[in-house]
Structure 1
Amino acid sequence: MLASRPPVPQLRSFVRLLWATAPAGATGSGAFREHVLPTGCMHLALRWSGPPLRVYAGDAGPEGRVLGHAVVGGVRTSFYAREAGVAAASAGALLEPGAARALFGAGAQEFTGRHEALDNLWGRDAGFCMERLQAATDPAHALALMEAFLLERLAPGTGLHPGVAAGLASLRHGGRVEDAARASGFSHRHFVARFRDATGLAPKAHARVLRMQSALGGLARPGTALADVALAAGFADQAHFSREFRAFAGVTPTQWLLARPLHPNHVPVAAAA
C-alpha cells in the first residue's frame, strides 16, 4: 500500500514529493531486485519495520551491501540495484535541488553517487524521527509525521539561489548549458560551481538526466514508437537513444516496456531481463 502527495507550501521549494508504504500483506519471500533510475533529485528513505535497506553491485550474485534503516541517497547519472518486495513500513521524500543545504547542512555534491546513513547527518534527531514514525497508524499518518519532521529540520534562510533557479528553469525547458549560465547571471565557471552545490551534478550531466526522464514519459505513453520517443527527447536516432538508455537504466527501452514497471523509475530486474 503506497500513499504519496506533494508537501505543504512551506516545503515545496525543497521537497517534490512525500511517500509512505505499508506492508499490505507482502512477505520476505517476494523479495527481488530492481533498478532505481536517476531522477535528478536526492532521496530520503526511512524504514521502521522489516529488514534494512540493501543495495547490490549488479544484477547477479548474492552479494549486497546493507545501508541501514534510514538513508539519504545522492543524485546519480546511472541506475543502482536494490532489494525490493520485502514486507516493510517506510516513508521518504524526493528532494529538490537546494534541499541538501537546507536539510543536511551540506552541498548536494557531497552525496553524489552514494548513500549516507541519516544518523551521520542528523545525529539523535534521526532516531527521534524513526520513533515518531513507529507510531504511525497508516501511510497517510506517516506522511504527516514525515512532513512535520522535515519542517522542524529546515534551516532558516536557506533556499535555492535565484540565479541557479533561473539556470535550472532554462535546462528544464531544453536550453543549452550556455543558455542556462546566461540566464543565471553568473560567469560560466561560477554557475557550474553553484549548480553542483545545489543539484549534485554539473549542468550538462543534469540536463542528460532530464532528457532521459523526458524519454521515460514518452515510453510510458501506450503505442508510441521508439523512434518517435527518441526524436522527441532530442536523440539523434533510435540507436543512439537505446545506447544512452541502457547506460542510464541498465535495460534497453524494449526491456523497460516488457517489465511494465508500476513506477517508471523502479524497474524489476527479473521482469526486464
Structure 2
Amino acid sequence: MFATFPPPPQLSGYVRMFWVFEHEVPAGEAYVYRSMADGCAELIFHYRNRFAPLTGTEGAGFSHLHAQTSRHSRFLTHGSFGIFGAYLYPTAVPALFGHSSAIVANCMPDLQSIMGRSGIDLEERIITARYHHQRVEILSEYLISLLRQRKQEASAVQIAVRSILAADGMVNISELASSVSLSTRQFERNFKSAAGFTPKLFTRIIRFHRALNAYGAFDGNLAGLAYECGYYDQSHFIHDFREFSGYLPREYFMGRPEGIEYRE
C-alpha cells in the first residue's frame, strides 16, 4: 500500500507531500528496496521494522533525513514493514534545519544530528502514533514551528527549483538565472548551497525522474522516451538512467525492478 497526503498551506513551499509505504513480506523472505537518485530530500520514519543499507550509504536507524542524492542505494529488510515520510523540496533543508544542502547531499544523517534532542522526541511521537493522519499532524506542527523560528521568505533558488520541477528538468539554465535576476555564476553558486547540486546535475536528475514515471506505460520505444524526457539522443539517456538507477532502461521497464511495489 502506498498513499500520499498533501501538506498544509503553511508548508506547501517546503513539503511536496507526506507519504506512507506499507508492504507485507512473506515469512522467511527478504525484501530489497532500491532508492534512485533524487534531487529532493525526504524525512523517513520506520514505524514497523526497518531497513539496513546494502550499498551506497550509511546508517540504519528508525528515522533519518535522506538528503538529495545523485546515486542509487539498496536497502534490505526481513519481514513486513511500514514507513512514513515527508518528501521535501531540496531548499527546505536550509530553510527548516539551517544546514547547507550541499553539505548533507548524498548523506543520511539521523534526526538527532540535524534537530538535536527534539529530533529524538519527534521520532518517538511519529513511530508510536496509531494513525497516519496523526503522523501528518505531528510532523506538520513540528515543521511549522521551525519555519516560525526562521521566518524565511521565498528565495530566487526556491523559485528556480519549483520552475525546474514544473518543467521536468527541461529548462535553459542561463535563461532561468536571468529570470531570477542573477548572473549565471551567482545562480550556480547560490543554487548548489540551497539545493545541494549544481543546476545542471539537478536538472539531469529531474529529467531522469520524468523517465521513471513512465513505468507501467512504456511501449518499448526507447528513442521516443528519451526525446520525451528532453534527451537529444539515446546514448545520453541510457548513460544518465544507468548512473542514477543502476539499471539499463530496458532492464527497468521490461523487467521487475527492486522495490517497485509502490508504483503498482
- How many Å apart are 1:26 and its aligned residue? 4.0
Match in the other structure for 1:57: 55
Which whole-Å CA distance do the structure 2 matches of 1:140 and 1:224 have between them? 40
Q: Cα deviation per residue 1:6-60 (whole Å; 9 max; x = unaligned)? A: 21111110000112345x6546733322221123101111224424x421226xx
| 1:210 to 1:140, Cα distance in 2 relative to 1, 3 A | same
Structure 2: distance between partners of 1:149 and 1:131: 13
Q: TM-score, normalised by structure 2?
A: 0.86
The corresponding residue for 1:242 is 238
Q: Distance in 2 between matches of 1:158 and 1:169?
A: 16
Q: In the TM superposition, what whole-angstrom CA distance separates every residue of 1:47-82 from its partner, at most 9, and x where no partner exists?
A: 24424x421226xxxxx8543111111212221112
Residue of structure 2 equivalent to 1:156? 150
Distance 1:118 1:9, change over 3 A: same
- 1:18 paired to 2:18: yes
Report the equivalent of 2:135: 142
Residue in 1 aligned with 2:61? 68
Cα shift at 1:118: 0.8
TM-score with structure 1 setting the length: 0.83
Partner of 2:32: 33
Aligned-pair RMSD on alpha carbons? 2.5
Secondary structure of the corresponding residue to residue 171 of structure 2: coil
Q: Which structure 2 residues correspond to residues 226-237 of structure 1 after superposition, within 5 A?
A: 226-237=222-233
Q: 2:249 corresponds to which letter in structure 1?
A: P
Unaligned runs of 5+ in 2: none
> How many angstroms apart in 2 are the aligned matches of 1:218 and 1:25?
25
SS at match of 2:230: coil
C-alpha separation in 1, matches of 2:122 and 2:58: 24
Per-residue deviation at 1:234?
Answer: 2.2
Q: How does 1:1-273 map to 2 (within 5 A)?
A: 1-21=1-21, 25-26=24-25, 29-51=28-50, 53-57=51-55, 65-84=58-77, 86-154=79-147, 155-161=149-155, 163-172=156-165, 173=167, 174-223=170-219, 225-257=221-253, 258-259=255-256, 261-263=260-262
Deviations 1:144-188 (A, max 9, x none): 322222223334312440x22443355443222211211121122
Q: 1:194 to 1:83 in 2, by over 3 A?
A: same
CA distance in 1: counterparts of 2:164 and 2:229, whole angstroms? 13
Partner of 1:269: none
Which residue identity is paired with 1:67? A
